[in-house]
Chain A
Amino acid sequence: DVKVTQSSRYLVKRTGEKVFLECVQDMDHENMFWYRQDPGLGLRLIYFSYDVKMKEKGDIPEGYSVSREKKERFSLILESASTNQTSMYLCASSHPPGLAAADEQYFGPGTRLTVT
C-alpha cells in the first residue's frame, strides 16, 4: 500500500516562529504537493514539486516555501508563522500524468497547525 506520512498530527507554534512540516512517501512518486484545507474553502494548493530540487508555486504560495532534497521527502516551511496560517495542512504524492495509473493523489493524514 502507498503510504504518505506527515511528521506531526497536531502542532502549536507562536507567531513569528519558523515552522517545518515534513512529508515522506514510500511509492517513488515523482510529484509531491502541499495543500491547506480550510472550512468552506476546500483544499488549496500551496506548492508542488515534480522532481528533486524542483518546485512550482500553487495558488497560495505567499508566506510559505518548500524544499525537496530527496525524492521521497517534501518539506513545507513557514518562515515566520502568522495566525492566519492556522489551518490543516495536507501532503500528497502521485505519478505524473501520462502513466497508466496517473493522476490519483495519495494523501497523508494531515497536520493541524495552530499559530497563537
Chain B
Amino acid sequence: AQTVTQSQPEMSVQEAETVTLSCTYDTSESDYYLFWYKQPPSRQMILVIRQEAYKQQNATENRFSVNFQKAAKSFSLKISDSQLGDAAMYFCALISNFGNEKLTFGTGTRLTIIP
C-alpha cells in the first residue's frame, strides 16, 4: 500500500513572497512518480509539477519547484514570487510506474495569498 501525507491543512503567504508546502509519502516500489496538483476555487484540478523517482534532479516549472528527498520520502513544493492566482488547494500525489495505476492523494493544503 502507498500513502501520502500532507501535514499542513492551511497555509498563507504574502503576495510576492515564497512558500513551501510539505508532503511525505510511503511506498514499497522503487520506481514511481510524484505529483503536485492544484485545484483553484470552483475550477478544474490541474497538474503543477511532476517528479520521477529515478531522477535525482529536482523538477522545476517556472515559479514552482520541488525538493525531492528520496531517502526521507519527502516531496515539498516551493512557490516563488507568490501571486493571487496561486490561491488554491494543493494536493500531493503518488503513482507507481508499473502494475499499479492508482494515484494516491494526500489530504490537501489550502493556500491563501495575502495581498
Within 30-49 of B, Cβ neighbours of A (below 8 Å) are at: 33, 35, 37, 43-47
Q: How many residues of A contact B (CB 8 A)?
A: 27
Residues of B within 8 A of A98 (CB): 97-98
Q: Dominant SS at the B interface?
A: loop
Within 92-108 of B, Cβ neighbours of A (below 8 Å) are at: 95-98, 101-103, 105-108
Please tell me if the beta carbons of B44 and A109 are within 8 angstroms of each other in the complex. Answer: yes
Please tell me if the beta carbons of A40 and B9 are within 8 angstroms of each other in the complex. Answer: yes
Please tell me if the beta carbons of A107 and B9 are within 8 angstroms of each other in the complex. Answer: no
Q: How many residues of B contact A (CB 8 A)?
A: 23
- C-alpha spacing A110/B9, complex, angstroms: 21
A114 to chain B, nearest CB (A): 16
Please tell me if the beta carbons of B33 and A103 are within 8 angstroms of each other in the complex. Answer: yes
Contact of B47 among A43, A104, A108 (CB under 8 A): A104
Closest residue of chain A to B96 (Cβ to Cβ) is A97
Please tell me if the beta carbons of B102 and A48 are within 8 angstroms of each other in the complex. Answer: yes
Please tell me if the beta carbons of A109 and B43 are within 8 angstroms of each other in the complex. Answer: yes
Given A48-B102, A97-B95, A103-B95, check contact A42 B107 (CB 8 Å): yes
Q: Which residues of A are interface residues toward B (Cβ below 8 A)?
A: 4, 31, 33, 35, 40-45, 48, 50, 58, 90, 92, 94, 96-98, 102-105, 107-110
